[in-house]
Structure 1
Amino acid sequence: MFDGGSGTGDGGPGRSGGPGVRGMARIARELPYGVEVFHLRPDGRVHFADREGARELGPSEEFLRFIDDGQFAHYLVGDARTSPERPSNATYKLGVVGPRSAFTPHAHGGEHIVLSLGHASCGLYDPARRRVSEVRLFPGAMIRIPEMMPHSFANRGAGPLTILAANTGFGIDHEDYAITADEAERRTAGAGSGSGSDQAPEAGGGVPTLRQATTDYAVLAAALRDIERAQRVGGIGAVSARERIAAGLRRAAAVLEGPR
């Protein structure tokens, strides 16, 4: 996914070279301490600059596993341990989604907002219509998903997809950050009935939230399995010819507009 070199460029010893990073290095020299600049490139790469220099971000550069193997996140607000008991109000992170891949369907304990900078899709379970809806997303599209709504975000493209994701109240390490079908079924079995209304597990040892306390985990598990089935049968969608042309134009624009 991250194929930037480890050679020496203007960003300093051991940091990735290339025209984009060299341009960011010139920006770095003008930055006050504590200020950071990110260049989210249309090819999925992320170039970073601060007062110390410039480099291309990759898994070794403060990226964490993002729900599934091969997906990565870099926190901008909050951290992986954010929770109602250790609040930062929300987490805000930069994510990189692997080519032609989708997250395991899940539901978050808090509200979820994702800005897509490429060609993505989001499978959502619609409880009113009792079916899975697929929303195709394009560069610059932002989707807002309520807490505990089953969904799965996917990258339709053949290259890495950069996203910006915000979650209210929960970091990746919290047990309610991403509840999968397997976890919902485990909670159903632990509750001893089809509903977790009176026996919902506590969040981090504290008092469960109102939405957690009224969640029917058996219903949640079934909805998540429906999304899994839809992705298995219908796939995650493809990038159209028109979108491929637009992506090429954006890459050309990035060369002309990017730092030099």
Structure 2
Amino acid sequence: MAKRSVRAQDRIPDDIPSGVLGDLPGGVELYHLRPDGDILLADRDGRRELGPEREFLRFIDDGQFAHYLVGDAATSPERPSNATVKLGVVGPRSAFTPHAHGGEHFVLSLGHAACGLHDEARGRVTDIALTPGMLIRIPEMMPHSFANRGESPLTILAANTGYGIDHEDYAITAAEAERRARTPVAGPVGRTGPATGVLTGDRAPAAGARTDYEALAAALRDIEHAQRVHGIAATSVRERLAARLRRVAAALEVPR
């Protein structure tokens, strides 16, 4: 998380006016996702800044963090909440290890991001640039990696169907796919076993369908190779100017 000039533990953040607190019914939470990457939370008990020091979990890789809004890290088909929804913080100029999820995945970017995706039909890796307010849907088992193109922490809102971070099928990396390819599970694979489905299926796979983990691993290695060769794309001059203007606009919009 970015270090603000005044930390939440030193002074109550003023981005959420104190008058709002008295109007919030019990159990209601109000979040302010600031353009600088900070996340403020207000409820009837007060207001505070969320951060890695508290109320956040490790998010796939070291230096990345998540705060669950729906479900929890233990969500799975055996312990369902239908979906998990969480706030994520992606470190400056960093990317997640390429992976695939057992369920479909939605990511709303609140900054300048990029999503590297393996296009099976074209046999190539494609990089999709995202700007604030763009939401991308990624089908289940599609190899991908999400990156922060900016110099400040990036806040995202991520929703996954059926799986929390602790589940073995939440994020299948190339190394894990290679391990599974070497040790296939005997018998039909259902909801209680490893992730199923075609490599880049649009919806739930047909009953009994299997993942080709060897192909999945190869696709994930292709994304890793692309990351090593090309690195993380930079923001443009126009995007950096827009980010500054967005911060100014956010400051002007806060009631005083």
TM, length-normalised to structure 1: 0.89
1:211 corresponds to which of 197, 206, 214: 197
1:112 corresponds to which residue?
A: 105
Residue 16 and residue 209 in structure 1: after superposition, are their counterparts in 2 closer, same or farther (change >3 A)? Answer: same
Contact 1:94–1:162 at 8 Å: present in 2 too? Answer: yes
Instruction: Verify the 8 A CA contact 1:94 1:164 in the aligned structure 2.
Output: yes
Aligned partners of 1:16 and 1:56 also within 8 Å: no
Give the one of 96, 108, 114 matched to 2:89. Answer: 96
**Is the aligned partner of 1:37 residue 2:23?**
no
Matched, 1:186 2:179: yes
After TM superposition, the structure 1 = structure 2 runs for residues 25-104 of structure 1, keeping only pairs within 5 Å, are 25-104=18-97
How far residue 2 of structure 1 moved from its aligned partner, in angstroms, is: 3.9
Contact 1:46/1:57 (<8 A) preserved? yes
C-alpha distance 208-103 of structure 1, shift in aligned 2 (>3 A): closer
Root-mean-square deviation (CA, aligned residues, Å) is 2.0
Within 1, Cα distance between the matches of 2:176 and 2:188? 13
Instruction: Give the gaps of 5 or more residues in structure 2.
Output: 199-208
Give distance in 1, aligned partners of 2:51 and 2:169. Answer: 27
Whether the 8 Å CA contact 2:2–2:36 is kept in 1: the answer is: no
Tell me the equivalent position of 2:231: 235
Q: Which residue of 2 aligns with 1:246?
A: 242
Q: Secondary structure at the match of 1:19?
A: coil
Matched, 1:129 2:87: no
After superposition, give the CA deviation of every residue in 1:53-75 in whole Å (9 maximum; x if it has no partner).
00111113311000000100000
Which secondary structure does the structure 2 equivalent of 1:170 belong to? Answer: coil
Q: Which amino acid aligns with 1:19?
A: D
Q: Which amino acid aligns with 1:211?
A: G
CA distance 1:240–1:7, change in 2 (3 Å): closer
1:17 paired to 2:12:
yes
Decide whether aligned partners of structure 1 residues 55 and 4 sit closer, same or farther in structure 2, where only a CA change above 3 A counts.
Answer: farther
User: Shift of residue 27 of structure 1?
Assistant: 1.7
Q: CA deviation at 1:259?
A: 4.2
Choose from 142, 145, 162 the match for 1:149: 142
Give the secondary structure class of the aligned counterpart of 2:74.
Answer: coil
Structure 2 contact 195–211 (Cα < 8 Å) conserved:
no
Aligned residue pair count: 246
| Structure 2 Cα separation of the partners of residues 27 and 152 of structure 1 | 38
Q: Is the 8 A contact 2:92 2:154 kept in 1?
A: yes
1:32 deviates by 1.0
SS in 1 for 2:241: helix
Q: TM-score, normalised by structure 2?
A: 0.90
Is the 8 Å Cα contact of residues 165 and 171 (structure 2) preserved in structure 1?
A: yes
Counterpart contact for 2:169–2:194, Cα < 8 Å: no
Q: 1:209 to 1:188 in 2, by over 3 A?
A: closer
Q: Look up the match of 1:165.
A: 158
The alignment status of 1:222 with 2:215, answered yes or no, reads no
Distance in 1 between the 2:111 and 2:7 partners? 28
Aligned residue type for 2:142? M
CA positional deviation for 1:19: 3.1
Q: Where does residue 3 of structure 2 map in the other structure?
A: 3
The SS at the match of 2:221 is helix
Large movers: runs of 4+ above 6 Å:
200-203
Give the share of equivalent positions with the same residue, in percent.
67
Q: Which amino acid aligns with 2:62?
A: D
Determine if the alignment matches structure 1 residue 138 to structure 2 residue 131. Answer: yes
Q: 1:17 offset after TM fit, Å? A: 3.3
Q: Residue 45 of structure 1 aligns to which amino acid in structure 2?
A: D
